[in-house]
Amino acid sequence: MNTCIELKVKIKSLAAEAAIIRKEERKLTGVSRWHLQDHRKGIVRGVARQSLIAYQHIRGRDPSVHVPRDPGIWRRDCPEVIRMIKRYGDDDARTRVADFEKRFHNQAA
């Protein structure tokens, strides 16, 4: 199986998870609602962003649209994006990882 498709499925499942969480948030109030929002905005959103950046790189597209402008966030995201590229990417994407690191290293610094 093409591993790029596995990453695509991961992205779609994260989008569905965010939609499900939003639906459940509407049913709650107070601290319970806040916990769900925190999970959606803090965890799910970050993993979805990382997955989209890796997917764009693997497909040979420009991932800079999805790269966060905040260097702190990008410093945290970059190692995970590189891990996903190495895991889900083909040989060509893996060889371009060094170029990816050089290109976006300045944003993380």
Question: Quick check: 96 and 12 in contact, CB under 8 A?
Answer: no
Question: What pTM value is reported for the model?
Answer: 0.87
Q: Report which DSSP code applies to 59.
A: T
Identify the band that residue 34 occupies on the pLDDT scale cut at 50, 70 and 90: very high
Over range 8-12, report the average pLDDT: 96
d(CA 23, CA 38): 14
Number of structural domains in the chain: 1
Domain that holds residue 76: 3-108
Question: Quick check: 6 and 88 in contact, CB under 8 A?
Answer: yes
Kindly tell me if the per-residue pLDDT of 45 is higher than 70: yes
Q: Which residue bears the tokens 């060094």?
A: 98
Q: Report which DSSP code applies to 89.
A: -
Cβ atoms < 10 Å from Cβ of 46: 16
Question: Quick check: 89 and 56 in contact, CB under 8 A?
Answer: no
